[in-house]
Structure 1
């Protein structure tokens, strides 16, 4: 079955569909959350897989989404999912024979987040306030989905967000914006309580403000958490950071 895209949506027209995967699946027409499009479970998985992995052959899509049935049955399920999706929203396209992709009409929150995170890691001096707000408010990728390909992408985005938050905190400290710097660092510790680099970011903010007591208190709390959970000590790098501050 061919997958086609209307000529009306080609060119430089603005995206007509918004696909949200962070915090849960949501497909809507236009910007914001208005005009929600009802999508079947199989359609949701197809859109999410295409959004996260990019264009793929029909055989790859069928085998990934329906691994426990015959190839013939899996391909039939894929054809049905594509037909239902395009009947409701024209969300998928066929850029070349045998390949399926998201339509250019679709704009994803993953695209916006990834661009923001990489922009933050590139160390620009501007836009730190907007970056902090966006990174702080990001939800988890497709919570409740347990497919292997979702788990992998969830961890990839999780790590990207943590690195971006820590880089943002360090940049805000350089600019003397200690409040949002601390927020970004604490958000990292909330996301991953055992991540040492996140706790070092918190202590670094406290030290930059000359809040030595707060820095030591946070270090000791983290050390106690590591001992209780993993039976290990903070790194020598972290311990040296605190010792030098108290010298």
Structure 2
């Protein structure tokens, strides 16, 4: 049986035994919808309506039939994969074969295991590594938005836990890595900025800590017309008045 992987975090991808398979846009949507709905098994009609909702029911269903036939003949069978090893049909319902790997499921499983395991850091770091970007980053369909937000929230929570654990253990290199990833997601996070400034200062990277403060200050002033919080200003004063490190 072929190794089939579906990537939904960041850009859509379909790989068979490590080789990327390019699909037409509407086939990508079908595969993504089925992959995201694995636990509730969408009907073919529901998928057709979601993708071709502006068409009549009959036209939408016809498009669905044509796309699945095209997928079977020109993509699966061409790569030696029976349709039954990818999609399972149960009456009018369609769902993924259990052996098909979906990165969203790998990410979610690592997050769940990480929050309940003593091996928290390794599992959460694995989850972060799987998260290549927000769900189907360049797609603007309504059915994506809720799940995109939910997964991004999980990702941010992972980063926050890893950041705090690294701070607790004085693991400055790791703390800087997790802190930078947090600020990449939310560049206005003043609590993270203050803590990251302190870590950089402790590492002797005073100039970098000051640059971090000035970047936040400029964003807040330009976008919201406000100054940084007292917590951030206090950390800036501690860094800027310490002349022991000029790196």
Fold match, TM over 0.5? Answer: yes
Counterparts of 1:172 and 1:84, CA distance in 2: 50
1:128–1:172: 8 Å Cα contact kept in structure 2? no
Match of 2:15 among 24, 28, 43: 28
Counterparts of 1:114 and 1:125, CA distance in 2: 17
Residue number in structure 2 paired with 1:67 = 53
1:173–1:208: 8 Å Cα contact kept in structure 2? no
The within-5 A match list for 1:54-93 is 54=38, 55-87=41-73, 88=76, 89=81, 90=83, 91-93=86-88
Residue number in structure 2 paired with 1:104 = 98
The within-5 A match list for 1:1-247 is 16-30=3-17, 33-34=18-19, 36-54=20-38, 55-87=41-73, 88=76, 89=81, 90=83, 91-94=86-89, 96-120=90-114, 122=115, 124-126=117-119, 128=121, 131-132=124-125, 135=128, 138-140=131-133, 141-203=135-197, 205-206=199-200, 218-234=212-228, 238-239=231-232, 242=235
1:165–1:188: 8 Å Cα contact kept in structure 2? yes
Task: Tell which deviates more after alignment, 136-145 or 62-71.
Answer: 136-145
Counterparts of 1:65 and 1:180, CA distance in 2: 43
2:111–2:123: 8 Å Cα contact kept in structure 1? no
Task: Tell which deviates more after alignment, 57-66 or 144-153.
Answer: 144-153
1:216–1:242: 8 Å Cα contact kept in structure 2? no
Counterparts of 2:194 and 2:108, CA distance in 1: 24
Counterparts of 2:225 and 2:111, CA distance in 1: 33
Distance change >3 Å, CA 118–CA 73, structure 1 → 2: same
In structure 2, runs of 5+ residues without a counterpart are 240-247
Task: Tell which deviates more after alignment, 136-145 or 37-46.
Answer: 136-145
Counterparts of 1:201 and 1:232, CA distance in 2: 20
* Secondary structure of the corresponding residue to residue 15 of structure 2: strand
Counterparts of 1:112 and 1:200, CA distance in 2: 33
Give the structure-1-normalised TM-score.
0.74
Matched length: 227
Counterparts of 1:43 and 1:181, CA distance in 2: 41
Counterparts of 1:149 and 1:156, CA distance in 2: 12
RMSD, aligned α-carbons: 3.3
Residue number in structure 1 paired with 2:244 = none
1:62–1:77: 8 Å Cα contact kept in structure 2? yes
In structure 1, runs of 5+ residues without a counterpart are 1-8, 10-14
